């Protein structure tokens, strides 16, 4: 992932935004990436196709008005380079036709980020068998090793409208119950984190979360996100 930032000139009411171009060598050829930024925008973020040095050209777009017409006038632009060292999700997604978090290049219905989170070997593997399961007793079971660079939340709802994050896993840490979830029955939530035991036994490395509250129905879901980049 690369983020470009810039400072817009002051006193330019006709500035329409910027266009971004990328190349894998300083001499080009440069290909336009993404849509034109909004007026006043000062940054652009994209997922790059892979690691290495990428070269960018940022060109301001200004509305030029003459006596006969108005047209968009592109500046010569400013060059910048970025060294991208891939790790974690970025390394896992490198080479996919759509390496973004919400991409689904193999069309299995599972976004890249979720497939990575549940332990899919790569973005072309079918991640459906690795999704969490609700067991016959209502327990929510997650049977895989977790990535250490993601935030995980297990959320529970009684009506599909209000969701409570009853258990959390921060990057590099173990699962923990969340007493501040706001769920009225949080005291009835039990967590069994067995991810550090003998993973050679099928199912023995599962994490399970249950709610002992007598209810006719409940709903579970897994939420994952990447931590924000460190400035």
CATH number for the domain that contains residue 76: 2.60.40.10
19 within domain boundaries: yes
Q: Based on the structure, what is the number of domains in the chain? A: 2
Are 70 and 178 within one domain? no
User: Which residues form the domain of 51?
Assistant: 2-85
* Calpha distance 144→141 (Å, rounded): 9
Q: Which of 85, 103, 124 is the last residue of a domain?
A: 85
Looking at residue 52, what DSSP letter applies? E
| Average confidence (pLDDT) per 10 residues, the chain, 231 residues | 87 87 93 92 86 92 84 86 87 88 93 94 88 93 87 97 96 94 97 61 67 94 85 45
Short-list 109, 101, 185, CA closest to 150: 101
163 within domain boundaries: yes
Short-list 173, 170, 166, 169, CA closest to 218: 166
* Calpha distance 141→193 (Å, rounded): 10
Are 102 and 193 within one domain? yes
* Calpha distance 112→132 (Å, rounded): 16
Are 47 and 98 within one domain? no
pLDDT for the residue numbered 197? 43
């Amino acid at each position: 992932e690369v983020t470009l930032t810039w400072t817009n000139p002051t006193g330019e009411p006709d500035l329409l935004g910027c266009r971004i171009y990328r190349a894998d060598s300083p001499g080009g050829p440069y290909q336009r990436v993404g849509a034109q930024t909004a007026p006043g925008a000062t940054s652009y973020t994209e997922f790059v196709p892979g690691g290495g040095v990428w070269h960018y050209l940022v060109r301001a777009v200004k509305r030029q008005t003459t006596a006969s017409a108005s047209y968009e006038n592109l500046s010569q632009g400013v060059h910048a380079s970025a060294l991208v060292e891939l790790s974690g999700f970025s390394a896992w997604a490198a080479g996919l036709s759509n390496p973004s978090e919400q991409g689904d290049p193999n069309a299995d219905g599972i976004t890249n980020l979720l497939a990575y989170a549940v332990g899919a070997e790569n973005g072309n593997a079918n991640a459906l068998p690795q999704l969490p399961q609700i067991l016959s007793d209502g327990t929510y079971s997650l049977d895989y090793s977790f990535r250490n660079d993601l935030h995980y939340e297990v959320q529970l709802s009684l009506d599909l409208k209000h969701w409570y994050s009853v258990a959390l896993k921060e990057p590099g840490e173990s699962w923990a119950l969340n007493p501040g979830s706001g769920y009225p029955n949080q005291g009835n939530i039990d967590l069994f984190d067995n991810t550090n035991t003998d993973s050679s036994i099928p199912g023995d490395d599962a994490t399970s979360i249950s709610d002992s509250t007598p209810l006719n129905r409940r709903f579970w879901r897994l939420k994952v996100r990447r931590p924000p980049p460190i400035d």
